[in-house]
Each structure stands twice: as structure tokens, then as C-alpha cells.
Amino acid sequence: MEAFIQHKKQLDTLYKQFNQPAFIENDPISIPHLYRKKQDIEIAGFFAAVFAWGQRKTIILKCTDLLQRMDNSPHEFITQYQEADLQKLVGFKHRTFNDTDLLYFVYFLHQWYTKNESLEQAFSKHIKSTDTNIENGLIGFRHLFETNDEVPKRTLKHISSPNKNSACKKLCMYLRWMVRNDSSKVDFGIWKQIKTSQLICPLDLHVQRSAIKLGLLTREQSDWKAAVELTENLKSLDKNDPVKYDFALFGSSVMPYGM
């Protein structure tokens, strides 16, 4: 633990530097920040997280394209679309995510939101207050997503699960956005049924590189075990909000001069 504590001051400084409103503009989190309605934030954020691989500029452009196809009212579109409206979605593509995937995502969200007020319960109902992290929530959400006769097999790859030892970077990032709440208001903090201490740090290449360099991560594979190892070590720096250091680890990696 002493080896980690020596980095705390440095990481706290970087966290404060990057956890600022100025961070929003060039990050996919800017997409849900376009909205004020809770359900619009949830849906826009969900797609922004799912699309989050590749260059951030491209991710933002693709999210903007999708939301325009939804008349920039994602919750209204999801809950009230008619068959003819779905034609607006045909031809959408981002890397390996295509319109077949999109149409099922829209169908899944439509089924959920016609019966539930928030997407939070799709994750939180699988998590106990005694759970140390969100693993059961992610497994439960994947189960909800895949247990439908309409789901195309190719679409399942876009929703990862810990029981397949995926790092689940995108969903971990999405839950960070929805759950974390602090004065900077970069993250939204609109979900209250999941504890900040239960979040898992999103493990992308940038975060992994910084974490290994600092000795916060020994596992070289980018998988669920590595994400848990990193988060457990970050808890020695802040047991209640370990994932706040996502800002520091990501930011230090993309800085021109590194950490």
C-alpha cells in the first residue's frame, strides 16, 4: 500500500486538473451533456459509451449523427417511434456497429422504457448493497439484453460481461458517468441506487499504460481481473470514490510529456 500512497498526491493533482468542465467538450461525455431530461441523458450516454472506441472526435461525430436521426429527442424517439421512423436509422454505421445492431438496441430500449422510468434499474436490480463492485449488475444487464428472441447474434458483442472476463470498459465508463457525483459536474450523478464505491475503473489502453507504470496494475491482460485489480488498488487511495482516478490515469497518458 505504501507504494501506492506515494502516488496519491500526484494522482490527486491530475484528477483535479482533468475533472473540470473543460474536459467535457472533446470527450464522448459531451454527448449526454447536450440534454437535461434524465432519460435523454441516459440514452445519449448509453450510445456514446457503446460507440467509445477509436478517435474521440469520430465518436462524437457518430453520436451526433445518430441523435439527429432521432430528431435530437432520444427518449421521445425510443418510446414513440412508428415503423416508418426506423427508416431514419437505416444505413447508420460506426466501425463494427451497424444498423442491424442499432435497430435491436432501439427495440431493447423501447421495451425497457415502456415499462420503466429509468435505465438505472436494468443494472441496479442485480446489485446487492453488500456487493463490493458492479460485477453482478453488468452480468444481469447482459442477461436482460440477450434473453430476447429478437436479438441478432452479431449484436451481442457490443454488450460485454464480466463472466466472459471482458474488462467491460464501455459499460464501466457509462456507469461512472451516471453514478459519480461531485462539484465539477463532469459526471452526472443521476443514479442513486449504485454506490460510487462499487464502480470499476474503465480499463482502456491509456489507463492501463499509466496504471502499470505506477505499479497500480500488474496484470498485463486487458480483462475483468485487471479492471478489478486496478480498482482495488485505487481504493487504497480513496475507498469511497476510487474511480475518480480514471481522470488522472487517462489524462496523464494523453498528456504530451506523460506522467
Mean pLDDT, contiguous 10-residue spans, the chain (259 residues): 73 94 95 98 98 94 98 98 97 97 98 97 97 98 92 96 96 98 96 98 94 94 97 96 95 60
State residue 16's pLDDT score: 94
How many distinct helices (H) and strands (E) make up the chain?
12, 2
Q: Is the dihedral of CA 194, 196, 201, 206 positive or negative?
A: positive
State residue 258's pLDDT score: 47
State residue 256's pLDDT score: 47
State residue 4's pLDDT score: 64
Q: Kindly report the CA angle at 141 between 137 and 145, in degrees rounded to 5?
A: 175
What span, in angstroms and rounded, lies between the C-alpha atoms of 181 and 189? 4
State residue 126's pLDDT score: 98
> Does the pTM of the predicted model rise above 0.85?
yes
State residue 241's pLDDT score: 98
The beta-strand segments (E) located in the chain are 93-94, 97-98
